[in-house]
Structure 1
Amino acid sequence: MLESLITSKTRIRLLLKFFLNPAHGAYLRELAQEFEESTNSVRVELNRMAESGLIESKEEGRTKVYRANQAHPLFPEISRIVAKTVGFDRLIEQVIQRLGNVKFAFVTGDYARGIDSGLIDLVLVGAIDETYLASLTKKVEGLIEKKIRTLALTLEEFRKLEGKFREEPHFVVWDGDSHAASKIS
Structure 2
Amino acid sequence: MKFFSHDNSGYLRSLAKEFDESTNSVRVELNRLTEAGLLQTEDDGKTKVYRANRSHPFFNEIRNMVSKFLGLDQLLEQVVSRLGNVEKAYIVGDYAQGVDSGTIDLILVGKEIDMVYLGFLVEKTYEKINRRVNVRVVEEMDEEIGGVMVYG
> Which TM-score bucket, shorter chain as reference?
0.5 to 0.7
Q: By percentage of residues, which structure has more helix? A: 1
Superposition map of 1:41-80 within 5 A: 41-80=25-64
* Partner SS for 1:17: coil
RMSD (Å) for aligned C-alpha atoms: 3.7
Check if 1:20 corresponds to 2:5.
yes
Check if 1:81 corresponds to 2:65.
yes
Q: Percent identity?
A: 42
Superposition map of 1:21-170 within 5 A: 21=6, 23-95=7-79, 98=83, 100=86, 112=100, 122=104, 124=106, 130-136=115-121, 147-148=128-129, 150-152=132-134
Say how many residue pairs are matched: 130
CA displacement at 1:136 relative to structure 2: 4.0
Q: TM-score, normalised by structure 2?
A: 0.63
User: Any stretches of 5+ residues in structure 2 without a counterpart?
Assistant: 138-142
Q: What is the CA–CA distance in structure 1 between the aligned matches of 2:13 and 2:77, rounded to whole Å?
A: 37
CA displacement at 1:152 relative to structure 2: 4.2
CA displacement at 1:94 relative to structure 2: 2.4
- Give yes or no for contact 1:95–1:137 (8 Å, CA) kept in 2: no
Q: TM-score, normalised by structure 1?
A: 0.53
AA at the equivalent of 1:55: L
Q: What is the CA–CA distance in structure 2 between the aligned matches of 1:132 and 1:177, rounded to whole Å?
A: 28
Q: What is the CA–CA distance in structure 2 between the aligned matches of 1:130 and 1:78, rounded to whole Å?
A: 33
Residues 70, 43 of structure 1: CA spacing in aligned structure 2 closer, same or farther, 3 A cutoff?
Answer: same
- Give yes or no for contact 2:34–2:41 (8 Å, CA) kept in 1: yes
- Give yes or no for contact 1:84–1:90 (8 Å, CA) kept in 2: yes
Runs of 4+ in 1 over 6 A off after TM superposition: 125-128
User: Any stretches of 5+ residues in structure 1 without a counterpart?
Assistant: 1-15, 114-119, 156-175
